[in-house]
Amino acid sequence: MDGRGGGRRERRLFVAGAILAGSALAWLIWRASRRAMPHAGAWRTLLARWYGAEEARWVMRHAQSEYAALLAGRQRVRHVVLAYHVRYYMLPALSVYRGLLELGIGRQPALERVLALVWETLGPLYRLSLFWLCFIPDPFDVWRGIVELAMATIFPPAGWRRRPVANDATRYAFDIIGCIYLETLTAYGAPELTAVFCRADDRLAGLLPAGIRWERSGTLGMGQACCDFCWRRDQSCASKTGPSRQTS
């Protein structure tokens, strides 16, 4: 075999080796990223605004360590949607909450901070998803359909046990009598963190058009017997556009 043939073979081996090494590196990065805590960058920015850069780095290092430990030791959830809630919302919130407590932040202030962090993640998503409802003169029926779809897919019966209350032309309501957030966070010793996500529901209500009125008296996470979800068609505002005046 001449030198040119040997050179071609070496180049092929080099390319094959580079592809293999690159693939292995990509796989390692992917594996590492799966253990990286979601929302870490945005949450660090907010923490730095509140407590300074050094404290924010400390909290997030502590939170990332907590998250990795929680992820490694968690009981596997077979339902893919419920696993997503655990991995991308419950465990990150719990990890940062524990980090704030370790920093010396009191329990109630820490819960308020976690609520702000969670809303930093959820708020833009909800606004992007719902802004178009404000252009519908009477959006009640459309919103009812959206909620029904969400309860069948994003918040499925496997994690949220629901009891129907009302479903007519002016009122759509149901009670949640079992919630995976409360069950999971209670198992991790932080049931009080559930209320953070309950309060996010109230903030979501503030994004709804004026033709939909949100009502709630309590939640499981706040110590009530159920989470009551109720939306009413507000006939006096149905022809108006813009977000509801309801606030949390």
Written in H, E and C, the secondary structure of 51-117 is: HCHHHHHHHHHHHHHHHHHHHHHCCCCCCHHHHHHHHHHHHHHHHHHHHHHHHCCCHHHHHHHHHHH
Residue 110 structure tokens? 């820490």
Residue labelled with tokens 């990065």: 29
Assess if residue 11 is contained within a domain.
no
Assess if residue 186 is contained within a domain.
yes
Assess if residue 215 is contained within a domain.
yes
Q: What's the domain count of the chain?
A: 1
> Which domain does 221 fall in, by range?
132-233
Cβ-in-10-Å burial (0-12, 13-18, 19+) of 150 comes to exposed
* Alpha-carbon radius of gyration of the chain: 24
Assess if residue 154 is contained within a domain.
yes
Assess if residue 127 is contained within a domain.
no
- Strands 160-167, 212-215: pairing is unpaired
Distance, CA of 41 to CA of 177 (rounded, Å): 35
Residue labelled with tokens 């019966």: 157
What is the predicted pLDDT for the residue at 240?
A: 47
How many CB atoms within 10 Å of residue 243?
17
Assess if residue 16 is contained within a domain.
no
* H helices present in the chain, as ranges: 3-35, 40-51, 53-73, 80-85, 91-103, 107-130, 140-153, 180-187, 194-205
Assess if residue 27 is contained within a domain.
no
Assess if residue 220 is contained within a domain.
yes
Distance, CA of 20 to CA of 154 (rounded, Å): 38
- What does each of the 248 residues of the chain score in pLDDT, given as a tens digit? 455 555 565 555 555 545 655 554 444 344 444 568 999 999 999 999 999 999 999 999 999 999 999 998 877 788 999 999 999 999 999 999 999 999 999 999 999 999 999 999 999 999 999 989 989 999 999 999 999 999 999 999 999 999 999 999 999 999 999 999 999 999 999 999 999 999 999 999 889 998 999 999 999 999 999 999 999 998 765 444 444 444 33
Distance, CA of 30 to CA of 24 (rounded, Å): 10
Residue 198's closest CA among 211, 181, 213, 210?
Answer: 181
What is the predicted pLDDT for the residue at 22?
A: 54
Residue 93 structure tokens? 């919130």
